Amino acid sequence: MRMALRTLVIALALTLAATGAWADRYSDCNQIKDQDLRIRGCTQIIKRGKRESRKNRTVAYNNRGNTYSDKGDFDRAIADYTRALKINP
């Protein structure tokens, strides 16, 4: 009984930690102060592929595209905008 309870507590703690880490990625992707952090956060969301909703992937591509555009990297910005439109025309 104690072992089962201990295992349950550990599993719950790991799940909550992972959830918090992904919440940070969403926060990073939506913030505007640190461009590199925004790109990293959005990229992590994009890398999850279809495990993310279409809406989340579209927003991540759009936000990352905006950041690339702000940095003057227009080729990457256009590529991200194009991907966003393919996901959600």
- Residue 38 in contact with residue 31, Cβ under 8 Å? yes
The domain segmentation of the chain, as residue ranges, is 2-87
Question: 3-class SS at 9?
Answer: helix
For residues 68 and 65, what is the distance between their CA atoms, to the nearest angstrom?
A: 5
pTM of the prediction?
A: 0.74
Does domain 2-87 match CATH 3.20.20.370? no
Structure-model confidence comparison of residues 85 and 24, the more confident one: 85
Using CA atoms of 35, 74, 51, 55 in order, give the dihedral in degrees to the nearest 10.
90
Structure-model confidence comparison of residues 29 and 11, the more confident one: 29
Kindly report the backbone phi and psi dihedral angles of residue 71, in degrees, each rounded to the nearest multiple of 5, phi listed first. Answer: -85, -5
- Report the chain's mean pLDDT, rounded to a whole number: 80
pLDDT on residue 36: 94
Residue 78's pLDDT band (cuts 50, 70, 90): very high
For residues 17 and 74, what is the distance between their CA atoms, to the nearest angstrom?
A: 36
Residue 28's pLDDT band (cuts 50, 70, 90): confident
